[in-house]
Structures are given as C-alpha cells and as structure tokens.
Amino acid sequence: MSSGSIKNINIVLLGAPGAGKGTQAEILVNEYGLLHVSTGDMLRSAIKEGTETGLKAREYMDRGELVPDEVVCSLVMDRMSREDAEGGVILDGFPRTRNQAEVLDASLKAEERKLDKVLYVAVSDDVVIERLSGRRVCPNNCKVYHVTNMPPEKEGVCDVCGEKLLLREDDKPETVKNRLEVYKKSTRDLVDYYRDKGLLAEVNGDLEARKLFEEIDALFRAEGFIDDDTQ
Ligand code: AP5
C-alpha cells in the first residue's frame, strides 16, 4: 500500500478531540512527506519552554477551553510562512473556529496558495472517551500510544526514548467532557462551512488507524494528489 509523495497540497484534519487526527497526521507525514502543523503540539511545546504564549495558553488548555484566536492564529501563520511549509502542510487542530477558518483562507489567498481538502474524521462520543482515557503520551513527544489499541512494546514506557509514559493533563475525564462540549459548540460548524465550499471529505474515524489511512489514501489518489514513486 501507498508510497508516493504529495507536493503543494494543503490539508486540514478536522474532528473531535481524540478522533485520531494526530495519529493519521503522523502516518500521512511518513507516507507522503508533508509537514505536520499541530496547534496542540505547538502550544504544549510553548508551555514546556515557558514562553509568554505558553503561559497564556496553559490556563485555557487545562480547562479544555479554546486558546484565544489571536494567539493561535499568530502561531500558525508564523509557522506557515517558513520555507519548509511552502511544499504543503497538514493542519491538525486548526482551524477550530469560524474566525480561525477565515484568517486561514485570507492568509493562504494573500500568498496565492489554497486549501485543497478538509478531512473530517467522524467518530462517536463513545469512541472519543475510550480513546482519550486510554491515550498515553511520551514526555519527549516521541509518539502517542493507547493502552490497548496501540500499546508500547514495554508497558508504560516509550519505545523510542525509554521515558515513562504519561496521561495528558487534559485527558482527565472532567476535562474531556468539557473539550467535547467546546468542540460541539465552536468547531463542529466548520464541517458545514467547508462542505459549502466543496472542500470537505468525511472519513470513518471509527476504523482502525491503518484501515483509515487506506481510506484516505484512496481518496487522495482519486483527487490526483499523489505522485506515485512506484510507477
Ligand atoms: P489538541 O492537541 O489539538 O487536541 P484535540 O483536538 O483535542 O485532539 P487530540 O490531540 O486530543 O486528539 P487526536 O484527534 O489528535 O487523537 P490522537 O491521534 O491523539 O488541542 C489541545 C488543546 O489545545 C485544546 O483543547 C485547546 O485548548 C488548545 N488548542 C489547540 N488548537 C487550538 C486552536 N486551533 N484554537 C484554540 N485552541 C486550540 O488519538 C487519540 C488516542 O486514540 C491515542 O491514544 C491513539 O493511539 C488512539 N487512536 C488514534 N487513532 C486510532 C484508531 N483509528 N483506532 C484506534 N485507536 C486510535
């Protein structure tokens, strides 16, 4: 299956917390060589580094609320203006509000770029809760695991760096409940926003990760996004 490259294609991964956006982004990066731009990862790095952005973001993230648009938009626009983003990006966790979507549209247009596809990773609330309660992360951000779906080779320890795996601060049950509510209130409307623009493709996020990737790969091939290395 697969192996090919994608160039100059900009993709958004849209979906509930825990839908599997980050997991698919990692597979897509490995398979096609696109740049992964995850607002969640950027904000967590800012918190770890103790930057001003991190200090601002922390109080929102710990409660499962959205970080203010201006903070997130400035991070993303800065990242997308760098040279390595010119060949195309996978945006994971951005946009999350109508305002963020409009800022992204305007910024791409100003640079004579465009959004090529929005993958809506659709999952049920039950799946979200099962995935987030079982998620374990590496403190060095090497990899994301799940206690049953994607366990590490040695229980509780990162396969790559050997550090002890952690439960993400915002994966505690009371915060997950709020994140789901915030998603339904602020982000889910973007499904219609992008459907109206003819950019939306819904994929079945309940599928096992590799099966879901195969669905996405078929879709990208049908769209003519992939330069196949094997031909
Ligand atoms: P962010 O880090 O973006 O969190 P999220 O959108 O809630 O998404 P998650 O990272 O929780 O889940 P995911 O869909 O990537 O799932 P994953 O692949 O890990 O944001 C965190 C916070 O930052 C927000 O709450 C907000 O405060 C702030 N923020 C971020 N962006 C913002 C923005 N644009 N505006 C304002 N604020 C912003 O998978 C989950 C688990 O399931 C893992 O354990 C994985 O191993 C497992 N799994 C994945 N796929 C499958 C599969 N197909 N089958 C079985 N198991 C699977």
Report how many domains make up the chain.
Answer: 1
| Position 53 in a domain | yes
Tell whether 175 is covered by a domain: no
* Distance of alpha carbon 59 from alpha carbon 66, whole angstroms: 10
4 band by pLDDT with thresholds 50, 70 and 90? confident
Structural domain includes residue 169: no
pLDDT value, residue 231? 43
- For ligand 1, whether the C-beta of 43 sits within 6 Å is yes
In a domain, 113, yes or no: yes
Q: Which domain holds residue 36?
A: 6-124+187-225
Instruction: Report how far ligand 1's centroid is from the alpha carbon of 206 (Å).
Output: 14
For residue 149, count other CB atoms closer than 10 A to its CB: 14
Regarding the beta carbon of 144 and ligand 1, being less than 6 Å apart is answered yes
Q: How far is the CA of 40 from the centre of ligand 1 (A)?
A: 8
**pLDDT (average), residues 167-182:** 94
Give a yes or no: residue 173 inside a domain. no
21 labelled catalytic: yes
Does the CB atom of residue 88 touch ligand 1 within 6 A? Answer: no
The domain that holds 55 is classified in CATH as 3.40.50.300
Q: Which residue among 96, 117, 131, 136 is the active-site one?
A: 96
For residue 86, being part of any structural domain is answered with yes
Residue 180, CA distances (Å) to 3, 109, 194, 213 in order: 35, 31, 20, 24
Per residue in 121-144, pLDDT (tens digit) is: 999 999 999 999 999 999 998 999
Reference 174, options 133, 215, 205, 216; nearest CA is 133
Question: Which stretches of the chain are assigned E, i.e. beta strand?
Answer: 4-6, 11-15, 35-38, 89-92, 117-122, 135-137, 144-146, 200-204, 226-228
Please indicate, yes or no, if residue 215 is contained in any of the structural domains: yes
> Does residue 149 lie in a domain region?
no
- From 41-55, 113-127, 215-229, the region with the lowest mean pLDDT: 215-229
